[in-house]
A and B are shown apart, each in its own frame.
Chain A
Amino acid sequence: MTPAQDRQIPFTQRIRVRLVSAIVLLAVCPFALAVLALLTSLPESVGSTPHFMLRVYVLGSILVVVCVAMAWRFADKLLSPLLKIRGGAEIVSRINLSHRIDVTTGDELESLAADFNSMAEALEGAYSELEERVREVTVSLQGEKSRLASVLRTMVEGLVVLNEQGEVLLMNPRARAALCTGSNPALGRKLTQVLPAKRVEYHLKQLRLAWEEGRRDMVEPVIFPLVGGRLLKGVMAAMPEHNYGLAGYLLAFRDLTEEAERDKRVDMHLRKLPSMLRSPLSSMQSLAEILETRKDLPEEKRKAFAAALHGEANACLKMLGEGEEVANSMPSALWPGQPADAHSIVAEALAASKGVYAELANAPEHLPPVAAEPFGWVAAMSTVIGWLASHSSGWSPVVASIEAEGEMVVTTFSLAGAKDISPDEMNALVVEVEGEEPITLYEAVRRNRGEIWTRSHGEDFEVRLGMVKASQLPEADGGARIVDDQPEFYDFDLFQARPGFETGDLLSQDLAKLEFVVFDTETTGLSPAKGDKVVSLSGVRVRRGKVLSAGVFHTLVDPGIPIPPESVKFHGVTDEMVAGAPKMAEAFEDFKEYVGDAVIVAHNAAFDMKFLELAARENDLVSMDNPVIDTLFLSFGVHGDLQGHSLDAISDRLGVTIEGRHTSLGDARATAEILVKLIPLLAARGVRTLAEAKAFCDRMLILRWQNSRY
């Protein structure tokens, strides 16, 4: 941001001139009349003396000059506190209740200002009480929001909420992981820009139709095959508003890519296996029939048929082998595994075996994580412990030990002096868990990708359970992984979509209803024409007079030249930080997509726009021709009589706090807040539409230019 030139425009001049001329007229007219009357009533001889006339004229002139000077001073004394009061009143009434009028004239004007200040104070008190209550409600809403956020965060499904126009208002982390690429946020964009457009439109249409026909709870199953072979499957539904209108839509989906791949393989091999086997088996049957029934076959024929039979049998075996391979790769019969700690599984199993004399003898401190469904293992191990304990002579415990062996982590449960124990009994062992279907111990171990076997050392009997190391699994079930991130919320009141404007119609639209993108850049210096470059670019969306907290655009930009130390001191962006950041050409294209057809806003827009224009020109890109509005000129027009139009001065006046001043995102946010506060002030001056605002900016530009010549 270039420092604003804080100069005042003589807005008050006109009023001052009017006031002075009124006073002068009032003071001079009686004098002139008196002189006229004197001249007509004087004797001819005296009245016609030139010497006397001269004296009257000189006296009259001096009187006029004195009158004008006094009137000027008087007007100044009267006018300046009045203007102060007027400006202050406007600020208090519209934007900043903490603003106070400072008038020390010692007269009625001062007491007027004091009265006004005390009224403002009372107002502010009432307002802060109201704010306190709003804060309380907000806190409770925030609580709800964060509870909702944690539900959304842990969901295995991707979840996207759309408004009626199909624009994305919310997505949970999983949806973001599946749908978002690059620095451009999906929030605020249409779903058709994120997923295959035709399909999205088709399903939205189905939902709209169902809604209109009164089938409001319809759930539409959807599938999105994406470029690159990924497949999303889920449902869409309409969301009602509190007054039973249509608020928007919901999309819940799962990434079926892995499962689809698996299904494809299963389809290729297992499902086709029977029909693939039919032909060779058919041949085999005919050949076998011939060999069986025609005992008198010539040797040569018999050999040929036998060889053919052999060949077909081999073909069958090969197909079976392929099918087996596919069957083994299918995890559906296995429980989903997650990285788990073998030590805590064994400890839990020992603790769960109540009334059993069992203990953990030794375990290394650092065990590699195993791929397991922990509860399943705990239940299986408890069954083993219980079985061993039932064969105990009474004084010897079941002793557990854990060790890492090759690809497995093996737990050994051993019992010294085991009586009448036979490994065959293990076949009959059943893992029973309340509320679950009982399964055999072997099945429980198999489902957990484990191995179980026994070993005897003289009187000692051991049951060994092998758990597969997590590193052996290519990926612990992808679908169940938690994407550890917060969901992104758009403001939910944006269920009201932005009004769909005709492009030509944009200029006549109400400012309060328009969509703006307020942006700011940080640069290597102040002279774009002399080669200075952008180092960071941020944009914030303003819709329906609200600054949207989510869906901001922010990126560092690699300027391709070193950043001078004095600029680093200013914005804190260093060469190291921009290394690997996108180049301006890429950032520009992303930003253009982000802006879409919104109105562009910046503080001292000429400066920042220059960088965008140069970026387009230097990289042969299509430049942005959106309408541009400058908050510097807007502020100047609204408070031209007040000092200071730098971002800091305006923020201070309008009660905007800047977080992260001199970062592009912080400044863009502050500018957006300023824009939102200026809109009602502009309306009070008859500036309501975009066309009027543009004309207003242009007028201020000319005024400033004229002013700068003094």
Chain B
Amino acid sequence: MTRKTQGSPYAPHTDSETAAMLEAVGVDSEEALFDIPEPVRFDGEFDIPARSEQAVRGAVGRQLNRTDDLVEFLGRGHYTHYVPALVDDLARRQEFLTSYTQYQPEVAQGFLQALFEYQSLLVELTGLDVANCSMYDAATALGEAATLSQRVRPVSGDRVLVPETLREGKRAVLEQYARGPGLAVESYPTADGTADVGGLREAVDDGTAMVYAETPTVAGCIEERLGAVGDVADAHDALFVVGSDPVALALLERPADAGADVVVGEGSVLGLGTAYGMGMGVFVTREGFLRQVPGRLVGAGTDATDRRAYTLTLQTREQHIRKERATSNICTNQAWLALRAAIHAALLGPEGLVDLAEECVRLPRDLAGRLDAVSGVEAPVYDRHHFREFQAHTDQPAAAVAADLEDEGFAVHVVDEHRIQVCVTDANAHAVDRFVDAVEEVA
């Protein structure tokens, strides 16, 4: 009984074991188990050499290190806050990391309870009633909100109104989801980085199924007239969908108080960190829309001992039961990232969350002030309260400023010919002095 030396290192069979199992099954070879017609058999090679764990780690490390080490002042939908070490440690326990969707709740109470607590966190943050236990990201959650508008009774029409400044990638995903139900995605104007309520009022009509607004907006502005936007949507029986995130919501006006029907957004601002755009979509709505919610829901009930226990619930909304009449096709979601967000929030506690959110107001305010003092730069472009980020005018072409900053070791967004966008949080605040120096050099 010796370890085999070839094949998958994660298939534990010894050669003698394999032979005994083949005999038990009654075939001569593994090959004989495959019922594949000759013409479609693959006899070639992928030309992928097997390598040791050490060799692969080294090779992947070398490949990744081709990426430049820049200090990022980047946001626009993908944000980073410091993630405490305990989040990694707990989330990587195999019971969490390697488990499956909780279709056998009796043996998966731990994950179910963590997701129930995640849902509860979102309920507190938004003021709404029902949070699902994740979508893929903010953009797909927005797409799902648009399809929800077509399934709820009070809403009619097929126009979806979004701010003209909506991030292009998010809009493209929304349009993808809108195509099936035949929705038209249209823009309403913005003024000074937030919604132009007068312009919205002109754009909206009774054919409007949904109005979407973000706070903070993609330009980092806190929406000051969220309630007024909601009133416009409400006056036309349109679904009012608000985009935000759990850190911002710890401080900002509760969307429910502004009349929101649905809150979507990027939940991975907690627990994940920078991940090349990988995220976790938040989806929260009113109780009245409960049976139209996409994705999984965890509910509390009782077990045979009458103790409180948790289970996936209202599954008749979902694809594995309802098939083509499901509320969405989503199956695999981002549950592990919801767990991470919940652990991160638990570690911060309400005080830590509010402190972090307040820092996200002060840091960009301070940095904008310092950049404004740099000759050739005016910041912020919009006279608003900002969250995490702001736009700045540069006399020099913005692309050249950004390229020069990259040479100095910093990354910023280029949003216009003479406009950059700068994001600052607890994650990069340590580098602000050097960043300001670099801007002075290149602007």
B and A form one assembly: no
Chain B contact residues, CB within 8 Å of chain A: none
